[in-house]
Amino acid sequence: MINSKLHFTSFLILLGSILLHGGERPNVLLIVCDDLNTDLSGYGGHPQSVTPNIERLMDRSVSFKQAHCTIPICAPSRSSFLTGIYPHTSNNFGMSHWQKNEILANSSTISGHFKRNGYYTLGTGKVMHNYVPDQWDEFKSESDYGPFAFNGEEDVPHPMTPSPFRDDFGKIDGSFGPFINLEGRDFGDGKQYRWRSGNWKNTYDIEFTSEADRSFTADESNAQWAIQRLAELASKKRAQPFFMAVGFMRPHTPLIVPQRFFDRYPIESLDLPVILENDADDTFLLQSRGGNDRGRKIYKSLVASYGGDRELALKHFVQAYLACVASIDEHIGGILETLEKTGLIDNTVIVFTSDHGWGNGPKDVVYKNTLWEESTRVPLIISAPGVSKQDVIVEQPVSLVDLFPTLIELCGLPEETRLGDQGVPLDGHSLVPFLRKADSANWSGPAAALTTIHKWNDHDPAKQSYSLRSKNWRYIRYHNGDEELYHNAADRHEWTNLSAKPKYASVMNAFRKEMDHRVYQTFAQQALPSVVPKAESRATATKDAGEAWKDKYFKKYPESDSNGDGTLSWPEYKKHKSALDSQS
């Protein structure tokens, strides 16, 4: 049952939004890239990355320089920020279909919420990892990971990708190179290649005779669709506002885009990311994963493919990555031009972001799914006409989980997003105060952004690994109790793990308390002993204390066991406690 107080509050927000926008609710354009880190000009990433169109968007927007994902892997990240719910709230940490998760299935997505509240919702490309038709009024194309090379028998990596890398990681993660005409070329293996595209469900042929005579890539096709539909929506002057989402696949692997983008970054003059030799030695990712970490394996295979020459290997991969980033920038330029020409830019909230970052060599990792800066940090750029300032930088760490409540406030939609009894309220906090004033003291959110990585095949929130990124520090606690601490204000590359140094004991203790509170809520902290000498013992104590507190809560409120299985899960606890809090 929805509290009447929520209805009244939502009405006031809606009324304020209508008055603010001259009687019209704003349109929304959400642009989501995949695996895009902050290698953008204007974001302080790779020094040779030139992205003039993204910079043009930044000139009219508020840019969050310390925005972080909730989990740095595609499917659960999108399920999290597009529902506004942390992975440790929903227990959705892995690659499972989000609608099979009881909490997420009973909690609205952003597009679903806009659709139910009078918006025309349309989209294309990789938005949610798993497409669900009823979230949209119109959807052009599902996720397409191509192009793939086809050797006459199967889809394979780009034939210019060296071995063993191509053999170790296959047509998606093991593939990079220019989108060129393959037919008739001799790649030294006696095979003839052509292009295909598609996803895990089906693939289809695409043509390439010349650069002037070829099929569009999926990203090119989705950009053209967005441009066309924006122009049509503007010409019809619809009274109904729209919510459009455009999901670009690049720079997700395979890193394949037209040759002209590769030509911008010649290998002989290309800079590598700043990398410290043996930087991984004081970290614990490999130990916490039991030695099974994909990012380290990709790195080692890539270097082996260039005869052990790390610099040459990384230069080839970084060239392909930056080429893909440049291709996205071109698509953004076409979309911005259409918004400007049609006048839609004056009443359209624009959001540009990525599901998570990507590492190109630091700490011997080429991949995502770590708790370090390259993997958790993403671009987040918001333009809200009539609300946001222009060309403003926000340094406060924020989370992608904050996006949903931000759009609700900007568009005056109801705050209630639960669809059923198993749903939960939003975890995030609206970023609108920062849109009005970069150093806002009115923001209700936390001081540090929370990110998790999944312990494979285990969905207990107490058994995951977590990171907190504050303005000056990063704290990491792995599921086995290992810890890392970086003073980012003085160590922007996170080279020196300070967790074992007595000088930083007070900082460590402060972060431990915050982590206990954020992940286990207040019940774990209240029951936790004040001193636990070993990190592993502390992790065990935290878990046991939390379970004891949850059992105590269950005895007091037996009705909190919503599925009647005789035990109280953490999501059931949070849902019941949130309901109690809303009634008080």
Banded model confidence at residue 541, pLDDT cuts 50, 70, 90: very low
Q: Is 513 domain-assigned? A: yes
Q: Is 395 helix (H, G, I), strand (E, B) or coil?
A: coil
Q: What is the pLDDT of residue 17?
A: 46
Q: What are the φ/ψ torsions at residue 428 (nearest 5 degrees)?
A: -85, 180
Percent composition of the chain: helix, strand, coil (DSSP 3-state, to 5):
40, 15, 45
Banded model confidence at residue 570, pLDDT cuts 50, 70, 90: low
What average pLDDT does this structure show over 539-568? 66
pLDDT tens for each residue of 207-244:
999 999 999 999 999 999 999 999 999 998 778 999 99
Q: What is the pLDDT of residue 549?
A: 56
Q: What is the pLDDT of residue 520?
A: 74
Block residue for tokens 């972080």: 68
**What rounded mean pLDDT belongs to the chain?**
89
d(CA 364, CA 432): 38
Q: Which residues contact 97 (CB under 8 A, 6 or more apart)?
A: 130
Q: Is 14 domain-assigned? A: no
| Range of weakest confidence among 90-99, 226-235, 272-281 | 90-99
- Inform me whether the pLDDT recorded for 352 exceeds 50: yes
Q: What is the pLDDT of residue 19?
A: 39
Which residues span the domain enclosing 505? 480-488+498-584
Contact 301, 294 (CB under 8 A): no
For residue 77, CA distances in Å to 74, 95, 369 come to 5, 10, 10
d(CA 548, CA 446): 26
Q: What is the pLDDT of residue 544?
A: 53
Indicate the pTM of the whole model.
Answer: 0.87
Contact 254, 158 (CB under 8 A): yes
Q: Is 122 domain-assigned? A: no
d(CA 106, CA 477): 30
Contact 331, 337 (CB under 8 A): no
Closest among 549, 553, 477, 564 to 513, alpha carbons compared: 477
What average pLDDT does this structure show over 540-553? 56
The 3-class SS string of 117-177 reads CCCEEEEEECCCCCCCHHHCCEECCCCCCCCEEECCCCEECCCCCCCCHHHHHHHHHCCEE
| Number of domains observed in the structure of the chain | 1
Banded model confidence at residue 529, pLDDT cuts 50, 70, 90: very low
Q: Estimate to the nearest angstrom the gap between the alpha carbon of 308 and the chain centroid.
A: 32
Q: Is 268 domain-assigned? A: no
Q: Is 116 domain-assigned? A: no
First vs last C-alpha separation in the chain: 14
Q: Is 185 domain-assigned? A: no
Q: How many CB atoms are closer than 10 A to CB 89?
A: 26
Contact 528, 545 (CB under 8 A): yes
Banded model confidence at residue 552, pLDDT cuts 50, 70, 90: low
Q: Is 531 domain-assigned? A: yes
**Local structure of residue 423 (DSSP, 8 states):** -
- Inform me whether the pLDDT recorded for 581 exceeds 60: no
d(CA 474, CA 445): 17
Q: What is the pLDDT of residue 553?
A: 64
Q: Which residues contact 126 (CB under 8 A, 6 or more apart)?
A: 32, 34, 142, 143, 144, 247, 248, 249, 252
- Inform me whether the pLDDT recorded for 398 exceeds 90: yes
pLDDT tens for each residue of 14-61:
444 443 445 689 999 999 999 999 999 999 999 999 999 999 999 999
- C-alpha dihedral over 38, 39, 40, 43, to 10 degrees? 50
Q: What is the pLDDT of residue 569?
A: 73
Question: What is the DSSP pairing of strand 148-150 with strand 194-198?
Answer: antiparallel
Contact 176, 306 (CB under 8 A): no
Closest among 32, 27, 77 to 245, alpha carbons compared: 32
Q: Please give the share of the chain, as a percent, with pLDDT higher than 70.
A: 87
